Every structure is written in structure tokens, then in C-alpha cells.
Amino acid sequence: MSIYTKGGDKGETSLLGGVRVPKDSLRIEVYGTLDEVTSALGLARATTGSDDLCREIIDLQGEFIDIMGELASGPYDGDNPVQLPKGRTFRTAPQHVERLEQVIDRLQAERIPYPHFVKPGGSQASAAMDMARTFARRAERRLISLGREEPINPSLAKYFNRLSDLLYMMARIDEQRAVVRSVEQQVRGECHRNESNTSKAVLGLRETGRLMEAGISCADSMEVPMVLTVVDAAGQLVEFRRMDGALVISTTLAPNKAYTAAAVRMATHELAGLAQPGGPLFGIETNIPKLTLIGGGLPLMRDGVLVGAVGVSGGSVEQDIDVAQSMANSFRGLNGDLMR
């Protein structure tokens, strides 16, 4: 059978019951716009890196087939289910709306709050989801217009409203996860480079001892008891010292600061600037364990290769940074290499 039938050459098309209507009728506009939604979601499905979002898109696309069938069957007829081809019956019901709400709630629990207006395009898939969302809103507007002319399924109106909310949430989760994946890839790449430069990446105890002496001397001059740590390029602890009277919480914060500086090859106070609302790494610390944005962590470089990091906690942020810097300066003096 040919894909073209010539039946629509005069600007009309048939509903499921055979009734002929203009192609620009509101009923056709509603399910035609929903077809745009499912097509845009096809792009999102092909590009998302999240299996659960992909499965959700497949489920939605399956529901859309039945919803378009309901719309193409003619005016709403109370509680009578729509007879679809191949003996299937369907009527959008409250449980379909509830299913969307459950998915929205699950995704919202994962989402990092963002108090600003969203600029679509954080990831390729999220851009397609945002496009689908705007189509869903237009389909909802067309449905409301149709409801002024003839009865419509009230559950269908609720479904369209929840659908755009779900697509918004899916887009935010996809771009949030894309940021996390990008950072994790950078960290893995850096670890791989360090493994290939083993001779340069080794941080010996003699060196860490000198770093500790420099840091403790600086902390003593401030009369502030601190916890000082040194980690290797993989963020694993090499040396840990707790000065008399240092806060208990600092025994956790100092290693985390060192781990963060090694993981992102960046001072923790610099990372904090990039992770502010609107920044490219906003919310990163919520998604990656042990990451912290508190100043006091600095990376250590030798011949352009990351060899480890230092982390200091116990005083004010400024004091922690100063002590960490004294340790980093000691390392630079030992190696005669500028630290980045």
C-alpha cells in the first residue's frame, strides 16, 4: 500500500470513525501537536545518557499513541472507553495522571534547587525535552480551546498539564547529570594521565613531612590548632596530623578539602566560585561524595603533573587557605616547580 492516499489533497482528513474534518480543526491541532511532542522526545531519547529517562520517554511515547487515538475518535462520550484499532480500548483516566505525578516527585527529590530562570541547552537531550515541553503547553492550549466547542475528557486536560511539568523536570535532571558526568570524566582522565606518569606522580613521605612542618609552623604563628592532610593524585590519604585542641569536625573537613583539590585540580575556594547559582558547576558538591567547596584545599603539581593535594581545617576560611598555601609553597620550594 502506498504511503500517499491523496485523501487529504483537499485539506481534510478522517477521524477513527471515518468522519471527515478539516486538517486545521482544533481536534487535529491537539493530537498533531502531541505528535510534535513525541517526535521531539525521540531526539531526547536518542541523546540522553540516563537509562531511566530513556525508559520514561519510551513509556510516554506509548501512552501518546493511545491518547492520540482517543482524540482522533471524536467527541468525549462520558465514561465509555474509546475503541482503538486491533480491539484495544483506552480512556485517559486519573491513574494516568497519578503516574506522571509519581515520576515528577521522584525526579524532584533528586533535583538541586535552582532559583533562577532556566536557559535551555544545558545538554543536548535536555534541550530536546524543553522543546517537547513547549509543544506540550501548546497542545494543552489547543485542548482548552477544543473544550469550548465540545465536551473533553477532564482527565485528559489534567494529563496534558502534568506532562509539561514532567518534561521540565526531566530536562533539569538530564542537564544536572550531564554536569556530573563531565566532571567525573575529567577526574578519570586526570587519574589516567597520572598513572602514565608514575615517576612524576609519586609523593614521598619525606616531602609530606616537610609540608606538614611548614603548615604546623604557620598554624602555630596564628595560634590556631588545625588538622593538616596530604593526599596523593587519586585523593587517597598519605599523611594526616591533628594539632592539640583541633576541632573534631576538622578531621573530616581537612581530608575532604584535599580530596576535592586533587579530584578537580583546583583550589577549593576557586571551585566554590564556579559552583554558585548560575555558575557552570552549580550543585556539583551535592552529586559527588566527599567534594567540598570550603576553602583550604590546594592541588600540588610537579612538572605539570598532579601529584597530590593538601587540605587544612580548623580556623577561618582565610586562615585555612593561608596554612594550605604555606604547605604548597614548601612543596614548590622542594621541587623548584611552579604550582598551578
What span, in angstroms and rounded, lies between the C-alpha atoms of 135 and 266? 41
Q: Is 54 exposed, middle or buried (0-12, 13-18, 19+ CB in 10 A)?
A: middle
Please tell me the predicted confidence (pLDDT) of residue 39.
96
Residue scoring higher pLDDT (22 or 3): 22
Are 169 and 259 in a shared domain? no
Please tell me the predicted confidence (pLDDT) of residue 43.
96
pLDDT of 6 over the 80 cut:
no
Q: What's the mean pLDDT in 317-324?
A: 95
- Which tens digit of pLDDT belongs to each residue from 166-191? 999 999 999 988 887 777 666 666 55
Residue 126 counted as domain residue: yes
- Which tens digit of pLDDT belongs to each residue from 99-141? 999 999 999 998 877 767 788 888 999 999 999 999 999 999 9
**AA letter at 87:** G
CB atoms within 10 A of CB 123: 23
> Mean pLDDT, the chain, as a whole number?
85
**Which domain range does residue 73 map to?**
12-188
Least confident piece of the model among 8-22, 157-171, 209-223, 311-325: 8-22
pLDDT of 338 over the 60 cut:
no
Tell me the CB-side half-sphere exposure of residue 158, using CA atoms within 13 A: 13
CB atoms within 10 A of CB 248: 8
Are 135 and 209 in a shared domain? no
Q: Maximum CA pair distance of the chain?
A: 90
| Domain-terminating residue out of 159, 188, 217 | 188
Please tell me the predicted confidence (pLDDT) of residue 187.
62
| Domain-terminating residue out of 155, 188, 221 | 188
- Which tens digit of pLDDT belongs to each residue from 55-106? 999 999 999 998 998 888 877 777 676 766 666 666 788 999 999 999 999 9
Instruction: Lay out the sheet containing 237-242: strands in order across.
Output: 237-242, 227-232, 305-313, 297-302
What span, in angstroms and rounded, lies between the C-alpha atoms of 144 and 149? 9
pLDDT of 216 over the 70 cut:
yes
Please tell me the predicted confidence (pLDDT) of residue 281.
67
Are 104 and 182 in a shared domain? yes
Are 274 and 321 in a shared domain? yes
Q: Under 8 Å CB-to-CB from 7, ≥6 apart: which residues?
A: 13, 14
CB atoms within 10 A of CB 177: 20
CB atoms within 10 A of CB 66: 17
| Domain-terminating residue out of 126, 159, 188 | 188
pLDDT of 339 over the 60 cut:
no
Give me the CATH number covering residue 252. 3.30.450.150
Are 169 and 41 in a shared domain? yes
What span, in angstroms and rounded, lies between the C-alpha atoms of 279 and 311? 24
Residue 340 counted as domain residue: no
Look up the pTM and report it.
Answer: 0.57
Q: What's the mean pLDDT in 11-29?
A: 79
CB atoms within 10 A of CB 134: 16
Please tell me the predicted confidence (pLDDT) of residue 100.
96
